[in-house]
Amino acid sequence: MNLDLQPGQKLARGVARHLRSHNFVSVEEFVPTRGLRVDVLGLGPKGELWVIECKSSRADFQSDNKWQGYLEWCDRYFWAVDIDFPTELLPAESGLIIADSYGAEIIRMPDEQKLAPARRKVMVQKFATHAARRLQALRDPGIPPEMLP
């Protein structure tokens, strides 16, 4: 199953699995603000917010000119790459996760830059909304478009 996932989506699946073992839940392709979309947003039991960007290749990393914009939307920021990725390319202050389709390991835990409480509140609300919308879309695919605002 899920054999048709893109390379980055495979990494995201493994990351999402691993986050569960930290008692975090997660969503994919989350939009914190217009024009930004993070690969994985993890939410911890105390409202901790981690962003994980999944890079399947050197080119995928080098073409990303938006990642610094993600830092202000999370407490910790990680890269997730596969075992063959040249990790020396990655900023040393970011977190590092080695992942595949089936799981992942946190290799380097980055320092925490705590979000302001007001922003955390908005982000948890947005996370809840994103997850519930995706869940409903899977459970009830027949919902008529005119019922969606």
Of the two residues 49 and 81, which places its CB atom closer to a second copy in the complex?
49
- Beta strands (DSSP E) in 56-116 are 76-81, 95-100, 103-108
Binding mask 84-113 for a second copy (x = CB under 8 A): -------------------x----------
Cβ of residue 9: shortest distance to a second copy, in angstroms? 10
Question: How many alpha carbons fall within 13 Å on the CB side of residue 131?
Answer: 13
| 77 lies in the site for a second copy, by CB under 8 A | no
Nearest to 28 by CA among 17, 19, 37: 37
| 25 lies in the site for a second copy, by CB under 8 A | yes
Tokens of 50: 């981690």
| 36 lies in the site for a second copy, by CB under 8 A | no
Interface segment toward a second copy; rule CB under 8 A; list 20-28, 54-62, 69-77, 86-94: 20-28
Amino acid identity of 42? G
Tokens of 63: 């073409």
Three-class SS of residue 106? strand
114 vs 144: CA distance, rounded Å: 40
| 116 lies in the site for a second copy, by CB under 8 A | no
Contacting residues toward a second copy, per CB under 8 A:
1-2, 13, 16-18, 20-21, 23, 25-27, 43, 45, 47, 103, 121, 124-125, 127-129, 131-136, 138-144, 147-149
